[in-house]
Each structure stands twice: as C-alpha cells, then as structure tokens.
C-alpha cells in the first residue's frame, strides 16, 4: 500500500510499502487503502490514491485532486431520498473530497475521480445504471441524475459508465458526492 499516516488505529488497517514492492515490476497501479469507517484519509500529491470499502467499492483520486477524502458506504435507507421509479438499489457510496478544510463540489482542473462498484453475481445480465445525487437540483432540494445520460452542472466525465472485465461498473468524472449502482426494473 501507499505510505500514509494512520488516522485512527481502531478503524484503519494500513500498512506501508512502495509501488516497487508490488507483485509485478510492471504493475504500477496503486494498492488499495482499506476503508472501514467514514474517517478523513490524506491523499497523495504525486500518485493516484485508491480507497476501497470491504466489499470492493472503490474511489481513485488522481494526484492533486484534493488534500483528503472521506469514503463511506450507503444503504438504501441512508440515501438522501428514495430512488427514482424503475431503479432497484444495488450498492451505494458517498465520496467527499476536501481541500483547505472545505468540501469540494468539483475537483480542480485536470483532476479526476474514478468510482468503481463490484457487480454482485445476482445482477449478471441485468441492465445497470449509475445515479448521482445533485443537491443543487429542484431549487436546492436535490435530485438524482442518471450518469448514463447527464452530468451535474460543472461536471465533466464520460457519459455512460463502463463495465470492466473484472465485473466492476466504473465512472470517471471531476465531481465527488453520492453515487448509487442500480439495476433497472424489467
């Protein structure tokens, strides 16, 4: 894993190693930092920082994205509001990016955040989507945005999340927040 200060010993399970100690000399992907609680994690300024929840949900921050981040799990009952009709909750997480002690709604120019959800086996073959909670919609009451077709104001990213060979739904953009993997009702 990447060197990082231990924030809360009872919560974090972090060890240090360098990229050179990875399984393969050609493997330059960052080792995940396991996250088991919603604590602030310092981000690297010169390398990608990959945060991972116990079930494999991940948030990868490019260098210079923010100074720190908080990654927390969401359940259907902890979401800001119910999901739009036709969507079945699969998994959710909230990603907060922090710079100069304040939360960011968008990352600095050129910075990216990649979110990844492991697709449970029972959803193989189902039509999946990724929703984002935009608190500025509906006169600041908030609403869900379908990232297959729309980005939030000021948001930049690839429309249409992709599925990787290792069965992860991924999306890269320039905005943190609450993301929910959904299955569409047939």
Considering its fold, how many domains does the chain have in total?
1
Confidence of residue 19 (pLDDT cuts 50, 70, 90): very low
At 22, is the secondary structure helix, strand, or coil?
coil
Distance CA 101, CA 139 (A): 26
User: 41, 67, 175: which is closest to 113 by C-alpha?
Assistant: 175
Residue 186's pLDDT is what? 74
Evaluate whether residue 68 is within a structural domain. Answer: yes
Centre a 10 Å sphere on the Cβ of residue 1 and count the other Cβ atoms it contains. 18
What Rg value do the Cα atoms of the chain yield, rounded? 16
Evaluate whether residue 122 is within a structural domain. Answer: yes
Question: For tokens 């509001």, what's the residue?
Answer: 81
Instruction: Decide if 111 contacts 77 (C-beta within 8 A).
Output: no
Evaluate whether residue 22 is within a structural domain. Answer: no
Give how far the C-alpha of residue 117 lies from the chain's centroid of Cα atoms, to the nearest Å.
8
The CATH number linked to 112 is: 2.60.220
Residue 122's pLDDT is what? 94
Centre a 10 Å sphere on the Cβ of residue 156 and count the other Cβ atoms it contains. 15
For residue range 33-74, list pLDDT tens digits in order: 888 777 899 999 999 999 999 999 999 999 999 999 999 999
Evaluate whether residue 64 is within a structural domain. Answer: yes
User: 157, 166, 65, 165: which is closest to 179 by C-alpha?
Assistant: 157
* Ramachandran assignment for 138, one of left (phi > 0), alpha (psi -120 to 50 degrees), beta (any other): left
Q: List the structure tokens of 87.
A: 């969507």
105-122 average pLDDT score: 94
For residue range 116-127, list pLDDT tens digits in order: 999 999 998 899
Confidence of residue 10 (pLDDT cuts 50, 70, 90): very low
User: Is the pLDDT assigned to residue 2 strictly greater than 80?
Assistant: no
Residue 56 structural domain: 38-184
How does DSSP classify residue 157? B
- From residue 114, alpha-carbon distances to 107, 124, 170 in Å are 12, 22, 7
Max mean pLDDT range (4-18, 36-50, 102-116): 102-116
Instruction: Decide if 113 contacts 169 (C-beta within 8 A).
Output: no
Evaluate whether residue 3 is within a structural domain. Answer: no
Residue 28's pLDDT is what? 57
Evaluate whether residue 168 is within a structural domain. Answer: yes
Evaluate whether residue 50 is within a structural domain. Answer: yes
């Amino acid at each position: 894993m990447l060197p990082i200060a231990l924030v809360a010993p009872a919560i974090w399970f972090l060890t240090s190693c360098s990229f050179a100690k990875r399984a393969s000399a050609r493997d330059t992907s960052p080792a995940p930092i396991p996250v088991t609680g919603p604590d602030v994690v310092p981000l690297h300024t010169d390398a990608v920082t990959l945060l991972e929840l116990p079930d494999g949900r991940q948030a990868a921050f490019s260098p210079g994205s923010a100074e720190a981040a908080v990654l927390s799990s969401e359940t259907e009952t902890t979401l800001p509001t119910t999901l739009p009709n036709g969507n079945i909750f699969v998994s959710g997480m909230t990603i907060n990016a922090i710079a100069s002690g304040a939360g960011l709604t968008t990352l600095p120019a050129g910075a990216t955040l990649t979110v990844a959800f492991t697709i449970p086996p029972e959803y193989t073959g189902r039509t999946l989507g990724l929703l984002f909670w935009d608190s500025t919609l509906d006169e600041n009451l908030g609403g869900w945005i379908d990232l297959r077709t729309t980005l939030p104001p000021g948001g930049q990213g690839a429309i249409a999340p992709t599925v990787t060979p290792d069965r992860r739904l991924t999306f890269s953009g320039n905005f943190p927040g609450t993301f929910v993997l959904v299955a569409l009702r047939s």
